[in-house]
Amino acid sequence: MIFDTHAHYDSAEFDEDRDTLLPQMHEDGICAIVNVGASFAGVEKSQALAERWPFVYAAAGVHPDHVGELNEAKMQRMKDLCAKEKTVAVGEIGLDYYWDKEPREVQKEWFIRQLRLSQEVGLPVIIHSRNAAQETFDIMKAVHAGSTGGVIHCFSGSAQMAVEYVKMGYYIGIGGVVTFKNGRVMKEVAAAVPLERILLETDAPYLAPVPYRGKRNQSGYLPLVAQEIAAIRGITPEEVENTTRRNACALFLGREEI
């Protein structure tokens, strides 16, 4: 069974079939899903999904593209949600210098504020970083390393940087990109990072693995990611699935198995 550590089933892309897709996840080999907030509205929707479905957990955090909507009242609301039993992380938070939808100084301010929120509530973080690898790393090292841990979601930096994150106690999230022909760097990361520090994730509805690339992603495609990592490392897909599931349970649930 696989633990999908990052999905967005609150997205409009799932509005037509969410209630039929989620119930079949166990049949597709998925034992648990972390639904991750992006906008503040997404944070609230993630909590609602976690309350409805026993195998869905929630993360509370605002993506750098949406931090302009944050204020003190919303930060307090997220802090309150972090006290809920099924909220398991603060995320996804970070920096996005690709879209640059918010001024970079504003992104950094709310990134640091949300990192500190994770420390206040004792939850791990889920980190988004796009075209901002070094600055994200520097902030993580200065502000958060050695505290609540977390995962670098959809990791896009070098294998060397991934190893440095692991040394600081973080996990590396790997999804469909590792199956792409042009995913050379991600394949290098999958080979370099200890299996005990890898998490499987979809980022559904985005970044579907080959042969579904370009289509809507969903958790049932994660066996394809596990197969690719297994081939890269010369081990069985079952070992990848089992180890990454235990990794996710340790990080988000505080126990060895689900």
Query: Number of C-alpha atoms within 13 angstroms, CB side, residue 78?
Result: 34
Q: Where are the domains of the chain?
A: 2-253
198: tokens are: 């890898």
241: tokens are: 């699935």
Tell me the pLDDT of the chain averaged across its residues: 97
Name the DSSP letter for residue 181: T
| pTM (predicted TM-score) | 0.97
Looking at the domain that runs over 2-253, which CATH code has it been given?
3.20.20.140
According to DSSP, the β-strands at 2-7 and 56-59 are unpaired
CB count in 10 Å sphere of residue 29: 14
Closest CA to 116 of 156, 87, 65, 82: 82
Strand spans (E) along the chain: 2-7, 30-36, 56-59, 87-96, 125-130, 150-152, 171-174, 198-200
Name the DSSP letter for residue 123: -
Contact predicate 43/34, CB 8 Å: no
Q: Note down pLDDT in tens along the chain; length 258 residues.
A: 999 999 999 999 999 999 999 999 999 999 999 999 899 999 999 999 999 999 999 999 999 999 999 999 999 999 999 999 999 999 999 999 999 999 999 999 999 999 999 999 999 999 999 999 999 999 999 999 999 999 999 999 999 999 999 999 999 999 999 999 999 999 999 999 999 999 999 999 999 999 999 999 999 999 999 999 999 999 999 999 999 999 999 999 999 888
